[in-house]
């Protein structure tokens, strides 16, 4: 019986070699809900009551509340992420709120996948291909960065944790998950990593 | 003991452990802490190489990365072989195997040593003068022979088995060089809390202090050694200070972006497999401190290149750092006080030392010390020749006049087994110069020092001509503090250490010591065999610019990049031309500072990670169906689906027949998809497509052509109106990213007034194309919601429906000329829906088909592929697609379409070709000519763009761009084929169902 296909399905992560108990842990969470939102000040005012939190206004910032995070992508561009299953409902509520305004609300849940990274080595591992400053002074909990890892575009969301044990969610387009995953494995080899699948 | 030149104690080597290594097949022993060079010298091996051109016997000139002579090939097993490694930089490990280079036969009996006898015939530029005629000899005789004779090491032939990684890092302060100045700078910066990186090419920090005996020097009342230990201990106390040893800063680029190469495992006999061999650090530094030290200058005198003749600082390093005494009977030739340190240290280790000082009245404190220690000092004299075949045995010295010219008179021969030279020092300004800083000639120092800088950097210590330890420490402290403050940190004043050291006397350079006999050669560039005579010849032949002299003589163009030859070379040129040195200027310093292996630059970008490999969600399904894949952009696309025993031709025929007669299914996921929202969406489409969009009804699709400003076709695709202010655009697979960037650039820079938002949704959807007369039957069988009847969903329309329980957008689109649907479902459901359609299609003979069959099917119908029928020089009219070009509205490229040349009747136009031999398939790209055996050069009137065998037609056919093609329908022409030509008939470019009855079925 055919199944839903994730970005790394063909890599068979369950049976892929990794080191139990390694400091760095990685897994793919392919089906989180992601909704793209475009609009100006009027749209911000219209959707904030629906979201229940303020949209971020500056580069690197996120807004969060009730299990959702909004990423700043551009001056009139956000991606809002939720746990799986609510994408249609969220998108509908946002569209209702924006009725009559110049806006775009678009479901991107399937376009992007999420690779979750946890553990102290992750900054060095990401720094193998990401040219941004990932030092704890520059990349702090609650921040989001848009960059690339090698040749793949990525969004990095510092979800929680501290310098010793950060949790970072990496978002990339689904067909790049294969490349990103292998890139991370190659960079993480010297530190050891555990695949959680 | 075999290590006969090893002294009993002292140095930074571990005598308790012995390391075995092999050089030129012979086994030797050394100790941990040795370099290959120090271990060879410990074993009394001075002959280590042959020079590039004359194959002269050569020994080590230096002990560091400036080494021109001691190049070796490292054999590391498993396909690992690296040429041109400097033995002075190779850390010894157990089992190391090295070979000398650039010899034919053995080092002692090099058959190419005959070149040295022929030196009169091989001056600078002989290459350009000698091999000019006869012209035919170049490829057959000269080049093969020169290639066989030239070259240093052997390039590896097997793929590089090692791993290389990159690491991006940002820092407040980068300090390059961990000598006293660099250490002081790094610590000063780190104390402010700034993020600091300190890098050094050596395996441990300390720089010049590692070679220091400490004679007569104290720092804050302790020996320099003790100060170094203190500094090292403090390095570990700053959590934001990163120390990178074995790490060379090889390049200084714009915006304080610097490249560092860390040799992670090169020094290990058995490297852990999980570590990369080398790591390229890509550093963005707010501030940079250069503390790169200085490189000693050799003296240029006749026969100054014999093994055993080396830099004074090198002999001191071999003694104080590695416990190797390079000679028992040593002559030190100098024009500078610093060489007296070597004289005193070597004398202290038991050598008999004579100093030959070019200066008539040297006055520095070290000179006094030497005199007190009983060392013979010959003042106002200089070396003018040497003897000794594989190692120097005699040095000829002669009195000099005040200008440093030898005075006619008695030549004294001093017997010796080592000669140490010091012609002063060159600040290591390479990185400063790379950063576009301007160099300044300092007459007092007789050296180029950093002048005006262009980036956020400063230099400290010897690299700015400050020779003393006290200056290094003071300037390092100041530079580190200043850099941290400039990076936004607060510094607390720290007193500079109190240094006691001998006072330096002035340096008096003597750039060239000419011998007593004509024709003697004095080496300037040791690696490339450039002598003072060659420079003179170049000047005599009219070369005046130092850049031209460099290229004519090859001075400074070897793998050492002239570290020991550039400044002496240009000083000699200045003398030849009677011009001051600053007027001659320097050649450009370019990265890398030392040779850097390609693997490090490539980093992880090889094998699986060379490029992303993009797979559609149905890739696994296609694999299980036996698909063969082809690369389209970064995507893997199913190319054809061979059944057992089928070749590609048979598979494609079967797939095409299935589509024409029953139904085929095709993975169209890779097509670019752009979501367009906003009230000006239709107007936006009007401007970027050639046809009109305002009146497109909701739920309707339209084909559009995009042109560049020059009127040439750029992309095409079908765009659908999903809602009043909502469109769904498709683009070609390869053009997707480029089209989105093109649209955004127009929207953001030219038409900001348009209210339109664009979002890429290529990867949001999996797309399954069902094509063929039975397509509706198959889709109907799995349709769980919606109406796909002919009436509800006519050709070029779209409906929201549900397929196999999955919400879907169904587009009635055909790229085959048959009844067709494109089913879009959320990407992760692509395989589920594909599987459901495939099962439901079994009774109808459903057949998966690949890109090859797709190409044939669309060509039969005359549908173009952008990038196949177009090449950036093709307009819509050329393609016969005027029907897609609006006469009413304006659009990108429109004005170009009415230029006179665009209307010319002999433009290449799209036509069909039917080969007279129906089995013959012309090659794509084949030229079209007007006669079967045209007179050469043939007039080429067009070319084949697509060419296939067609199952439906039962024959071959082709599409072509042909000059004045539309007027030639019915003509017989010829296309190039194999060695000759093949006859074809020109037709309209539509072969199947020109009325479109099937399409609308």
Cβ contact (<8 Å) for A5 and B678?
no
Residues B521-588: name the CATH superfamily.
BFD-like [2Fe-2S]-binding domain (1.10.10.1100)
CA distance B62 to B312: 9
Residue with the larger pLDDT of the pair A89 and B47: B47
Comparing alpha-carbon positions, the chain A residue that sits nearest to B275 is: A190
Residue with the larger pLDDT of the pair B781 and B519: B781
Q: What is the 3-state secondary structure (H, E, C) of B422-446?
A: ECCEEECCHHHHHCCCCEEEECCCC
Can you tell me the mean pLDDT for B433-441?
96
Residue with the larger pLDDT of the pair B119 and A43: A43
Q: Which of residues 131-190 of B touch A (CB under 8 A)?
A: 163, 165-170
The answer to whether residue B243 scores a pLDDT higher than 80 is yes
Residues of A in Cβ contact (< 8 Å) with B761: 106, 108, 111
Can you tell me the mean pLDDT for B659-679?
97
SS3 of residue B87 by DSSP: helix
Closest partner residue to B613 among A5, A106, A178, by Cβ? A178
Can you tell me the mean pLDDT for B813-827?
96
Architecture of domain A9-30+111-195: 2-Layer Sandwich (3.30)
For B845-855, the pLDDT digits (tens) are 999 999 999 99
pLDDT at B125: 75
Helix (H) or strand (E) holding B722: strand B713-723
CA distance A135 to chain B (A): 8
Give the range with max mean pLDDT: A161-165, B157-161, B585-589, B901-905: B901-905
Residue spans in chain B of domains classed CATH 3.30.70.1400 = 672-760
Supply the angle between the helices B180-191 and B469-486 in degrees, to the nearest 10.
Answer: 30
Residues of B in Cβ contact (< 8 Å) with A104: 675, 677-678, 757, 759
Can you tell me the mean pLDDT for B897-903?
93
The answer to whether residue A2 scores a pLDDT higher than 80 is no
Share of chain B above pLDDT 70, in %: 99
CA distance A64 to chain B (A): 23
Residue spans in chain A of domains classed CATH 3.30.1360.120 = 9-30+111-195
CA distance B493 to chain A (A): 25
B400: confidence class by pLDDT, cuts 50, 70, 90: very high
Cβ contact (<8 Å) for A4 and B615?
no
Cβ contact (<8 Å) for A3 and B831?
yes
Residue spans in chain B of domains classed CATH 3.50.50.60 = 164-294+427-489, 298-423+506-515
CA distance B12 to B211: 9
A90: confidence class by pLDDT, cuts 50, 70, 90: confident
Comparing alpha-carbon positions, the chain A residue that sits nearest to B264 is: A190
The answer to whether residue B1001 scores a pLDDT higher than 90 is no
Can you tell me the mean pLDDT for B512-518?
76
Architecture of domain B1-158: Roll (3.10)
Q: Which of residues 756-795 of B touch A (CB under 8 A)?
A: 757, 759-765
SS3 of residue B830 by DSSP: helix
Joined together, the tokens standing for residue B454 give: 């262009």
pLDDT at B516: 61
**Mutation for testing the B interface, residue in A94, A175, A185, A187 having most B CBs under 10 Å:** A175
Can you tell me the mean pLDDT for B364-372?
96
Average pLDDT score, chain B: 94
CA distance B430 to B504: 25
Comparing alpha-carbon positions, the chain B residue that sits nearest to A38 is: B757
Q: Which of residues 144-173 of A touch B (CB under 8 A)?
A: 150-152, 173
Task: Identify the CATH number of the domain defined by range B904-1001.
Answer: 2.40.30.110
Please give the C-alpha separations between residue B105 and each of B55, B149, B153, B527, in angstroms, as whole numbers.
11, 12, 14, 19
Residue A101 contacts B where some CB pair is shorter than 8 Å: no
A–B: how many Cβ contacts below 8 A?
A: 134
pLDDT at B585: 83
For B193-202, the pLDDT digits (tens) are 999 999 999 9
Number of CB atoms found within 10 A of residue B7's CB = 15
Given CATH 3.30.9.10, say whether it is the number of domain B164-294+427-489: no
pLDDT at B267: 94
B117: confidence class by pLDDT, cuts 50, 70, 90: confident
Residues of B in Cβ contact (< 8 Å) with A128: 165-168, 604
Residue spans in chain B of domains classed CATH 3.10.20.440 = 1-158
Residue with the larger pLDDT of the pair A11 and A90: A11
CA distance A5 to A175: 11
CA distance B400 to B509: 13
Residues of B in Cβ contact (< 8 Å) with A127: 167-169
Q: Which fold has domain B672-760?
A: Alpha-Beta Plaits (3.30.70)
B151: confidence class by pLDDT, cuts 50, 70, 90: low
pLDDT at B793: 97
Cβ contact (<8 Å) for A174 and B827?
yes
SS3 content of chain B, % helix, strand, coil (to 5): 25, 30, 45
CA distance B30 to B154: 26
Backbone phi and psi for residue A187, each to the nearest 5 degrees, phi listed first: -75, -25
CA distance A36 to A53: 16
B150: confidence class by pLDDT, cuts 50, 70, 90: low
Q: Which of residues 8-67 of A touch B (CB under 8 A)?
A: 9-10, 30-31, 36, 38
Backbone phi and psi for residue A92, each to the nearest 5 degrees, phi listed first: -65, -45
Cβ-based neighbours of B522, under 8 Å, separated by 6 or more: B300, B301, B302, B303, B304, B512, B513, B514, B515, B531, B532, B533
Comparing alpha-carbon positions, the chain B residue that sits nearest to A108 is: B764
For B310-356, the pLDDT digits (tens) are 999 999 999 999 999 999 999 999 999 999 999 999 999 999 999 99
Closest partner residue to A110 among B619, B678, B827, by Cβ? B827
Average pLDDT score, chain A: 95
Q: Which fold has domain B298-423+506-515?
A: FAD/NAD(P)-binding domain (3.50.50)
For B545-579, the pLDDT digits (tens) are 999 999 999 999 888 889 999 999 999 999 999 99
Residue spans in chain A of domains classed CATH 3.30.70.1520 = 33-107
For A26-70, the pLDDT digits (tens) are 999 999 999 999 999 999 999 999 999 999 999 999 999 988 999
Pick the CATH number of A33-107 from 3.10.580.10, 3.30.70.1520, 3.50.30.40, 3.40.50.10440: 3.30.70.1520
pLDDT at B156: 86
The answer to whether residue B636 scores a pLDDT higher than 80 is yes
Residue B362 contacts residue B388 (beta carbons within 8 Å) = no
pLDDT at B407: 81
The answer to whether residue B588 scores a pLDDT higher than 90 is no
Residue spans in chain B of domains classed CATH 1.10.10.1100 = 521-588
Joined together, the tokens standing for residue B421 give: 């030279």
Residues of B in Cβ contact (< 8 Å) with A124: 167
The answer to whether residue B960 scores a pLDDT higher than 70 is yes
Joined together, the tokens standing for residue A127 give: 């720094």
The answer to whether residue A1 scores a pLDDT higher than 60 is no
Helix (H) or strand (E) holding A144: strand A144-149
CA distance A63 to A168: 16
Q: Please state whether beta strands B942-950 and B927-929 pair in parallel, antiparallel, or not at all (unpaired).
A: antiparallel
CA distance B832 to chain A (A): 5
Number of CB atoms found within 10 A of residue B792's CB = 12
What pairs with residue B29 in β-bridges?
Answer: B20
pTM exceeding 0.90: yes
């Amino acid at each position: 019986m055919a199944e839903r296909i994730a970005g790394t399905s063909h890599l068979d992560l369950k049976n892929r070699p990794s080191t139990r108990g390694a400091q760095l842990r990685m897994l793919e969470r392919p089906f989180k809900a992601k909704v793209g939102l475009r609009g100006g000040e009027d749209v911000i005012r219209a959707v904030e009551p629906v979201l229940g939190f303020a949209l971020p206004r500056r580069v690197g910032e996120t807004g969060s509340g009730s299990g959702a995070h909004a990423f700043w992508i551009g001056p009139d561009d956000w991606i809002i992420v939720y746990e799986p299953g609510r994408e249609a409902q969220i998108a509908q509520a946002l569209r209702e709120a924006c009725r009559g305004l110049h806006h775009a609300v678009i479901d991107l849940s399937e376009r992007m996948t999420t690779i979750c990274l946890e553990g102290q080595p992750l900054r060095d591992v990401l720094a193998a291909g990401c040219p941004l400053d990932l030092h704890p002074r520059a990349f702090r909990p609650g921040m989001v960065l848009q960059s690339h890892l090698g040749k793949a575009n990525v969004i990095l969301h510092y979800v929680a944790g501290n310098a010793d044990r950060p949790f970072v969610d990496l978002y990339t387009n689904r067909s790049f998950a294969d490349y990103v995953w292998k890139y991370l494995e190659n960079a993480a080899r010297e530190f050891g990593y555990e695949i959680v699948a | 003991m075999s290590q006969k030149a090893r002294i009993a104690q002292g140095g930074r080597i571990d005598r308790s452990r012995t390391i075995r290594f092999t050089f030129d097949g012979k086994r030797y022993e050394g100790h941990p802490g040795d370099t290959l060079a120090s271990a060879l010298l410990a074993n009394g091996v001075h002959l280590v190489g042959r020079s590039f051109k004359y194959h002269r016997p050569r020994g080590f000139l230096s002990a560091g990365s400036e080494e021109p002579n001691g190049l070796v090939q490292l054999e590391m097993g498993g396909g690992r072989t690296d040429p041109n490694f400097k033995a002075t930089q190779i850390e010894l490990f157990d089992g190391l195997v090295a070979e000398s280079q650039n010899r034919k036969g053995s080092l002692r009996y090099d058959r190419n040593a005959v070149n040295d006898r022929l030196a009169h015939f091989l001056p600078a530029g002989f290459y350009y003068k000698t091999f000019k005629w006869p012209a035919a000899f170049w490829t057959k005789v000269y080049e093969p022979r020169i290639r066989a004779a030239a070259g240093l090491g052997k390039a590896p032939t097997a793929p590089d088995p090692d791993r290389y990684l990159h690491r991006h890092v940002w820092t407040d302060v980068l300090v390059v060089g961990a000598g006293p100045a660099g250490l002081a700078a790094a610590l000063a910066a780190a104390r402010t809390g700034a993020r600091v990186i300190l890098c050094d090419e050596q395996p441990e920090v300390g720089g010049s202090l590692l070679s220091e005996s400490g004679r007569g020097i104290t720092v804050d009342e302790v020996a320099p050694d003790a100060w170094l230990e203190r500094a090292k201990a403090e390095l570990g106390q700053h959590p934001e200070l990163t120390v990178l040893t074995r790490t060379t800063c090889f390049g200084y680029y714009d915006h304080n972006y610097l490249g560092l190469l860390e040799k992670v495992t090169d020094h290990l006999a058995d490297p852990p497999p999980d570590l990369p061999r080398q790591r390229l650090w890509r550093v963005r530094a707010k501030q940079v401190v250069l503390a790169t030290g200085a490189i000693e200058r050799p003296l240029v005198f006749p026969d100054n290149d014999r093994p055993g003749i080396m830099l004074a600082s090198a002999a001191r390093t071999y003694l104080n750092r590695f416990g190797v005494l390079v000679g028992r009977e040593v002559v030190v030739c100098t024009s500078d006080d610093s060489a007296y340190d070597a004289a005193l240290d070597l004398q202290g280790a038991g050598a008999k030392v004579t100093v030959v000082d070019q200066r008539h009245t040297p006055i520095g404190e070290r000179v006094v010390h030497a005199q007190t220690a009983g060392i013979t000092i010959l003042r106002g004299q200089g070396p003018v020749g040497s003897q000794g075949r594989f190692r120097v045995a005699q040095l000829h010295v002669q009195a000099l006049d005040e200008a440093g010219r030898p005075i006619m008179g008695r030549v004294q021969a001093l017997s010796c087994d080592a000669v140490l030279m010091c012609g002063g020092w060159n600040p290591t300004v390479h990185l400063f110069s790379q950063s576009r800083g301007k160099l300044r000639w300092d007459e007092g120092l007789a050296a180029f020092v950093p002048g005006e800088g262009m980036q956020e950097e400063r230099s400290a210590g010897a690299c700015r001509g400050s020779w003393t330890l006290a200056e290094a420490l003071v300037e390092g402290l100041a530079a580190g503090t200043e850099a941290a403050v400039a990076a936004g940190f607060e510094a607390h004043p720290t007193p500079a250490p109190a240094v006691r050291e001998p006072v330096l006397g002035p340096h008096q350079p003597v750039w060239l010591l000419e011998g007593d006999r004509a024709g003697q050669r004095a080496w300037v560039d040791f690696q490339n065999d450039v002598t003072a005579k060659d420079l003179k010849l170049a000047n005599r032949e009219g070369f005046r610019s130092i850049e031209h002299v460099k290229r004519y003589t090859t001075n400074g163009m070897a793998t050492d990049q002239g570290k020991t030859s550039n400044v002496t070379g240009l000083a000699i040129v200045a003398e030849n031309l009677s011009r001051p040195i600053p007027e001659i200027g320097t050649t450009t310093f370019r990265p890398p500072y030392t040779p850097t292996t390609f693997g490090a630059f490539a980093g992880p970008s090889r094998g699986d990670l060379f490029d992303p490999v993009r797979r559609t969600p149905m890739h696994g399904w296609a694999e299980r169906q036996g698909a063969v894949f082809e690369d389209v952009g970064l995507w893997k696309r199913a190319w054809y689906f061979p059944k057992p025993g089928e070749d590609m031709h048979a598979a494609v025929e079967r797939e095409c027949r299935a589509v024409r007669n029953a139904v085929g299914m095709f993975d169209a996921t890779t097509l670019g998809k752009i979501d367009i929202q906003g009230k000006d969406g239709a107007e936006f489409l009007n401007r970027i497509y050639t046809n009109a969009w305002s009146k497109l009804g909701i739920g309707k699709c339209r084909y559009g052509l995009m042109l560049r400003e020059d009127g040439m076709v750029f992309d095409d695709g079908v765009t659908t109106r999903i809602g009043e202010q909502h469109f769904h655009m498709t683009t070609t697979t390869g053009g997707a990213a480029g089209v989105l960037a093109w649209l955004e650039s127009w929207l953001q820079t030219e038409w900001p007034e348009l209210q339109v938002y664009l979002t890429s949704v290529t990867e949001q959807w999996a797309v399954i194309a069902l094509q063929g007369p039975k397509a509706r039957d198959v889709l109907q069988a799995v349709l769980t919601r919606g109406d796909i009847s002919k009436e509800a969903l006519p050709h070029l329309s779209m409906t929201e429906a549900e397929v196999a329980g999955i919400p879907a957008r169904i587009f009635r689109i055909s790229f085959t000329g048959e009844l067709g649907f494109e089913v879009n479902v959320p990407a992760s459901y692509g395989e589920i829906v594909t599987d459901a359609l495939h099962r439901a299609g079994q009774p109808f003979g459903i057949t998966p088909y690949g890109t090859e069959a797709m190409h044939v099917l669309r060509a039969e119908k005359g549908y173009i592929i952008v990038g196949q029928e177009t090449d950036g020089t093709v307009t819509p009219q050329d393609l016969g697609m005027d029907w897609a070009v609006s006469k009413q509205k304006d659009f990108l490229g429109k004005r170009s379409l009415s230029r006179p040349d665009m209307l010319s009747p002999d433009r290449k136009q799209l036509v069909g070709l039917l080969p007279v031999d129906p089995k013959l398939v012309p090659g794509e790209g084949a030229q079209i000519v007007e006669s079967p055996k045209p007179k050469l050069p043939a007039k080429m009137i067009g070319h084949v763009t697509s060419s296939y065998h067609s199952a439906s037609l039962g024959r071959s056919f082709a599409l072509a761009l042909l000059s004045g093609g539309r007027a030639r329908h019915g003509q017989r022409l010829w296309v190039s084929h194999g060695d000759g030509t093949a006859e074809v008939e020109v037709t309209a470019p539509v072969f199947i169902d020109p009325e479109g009855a099937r399409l609308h079925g």
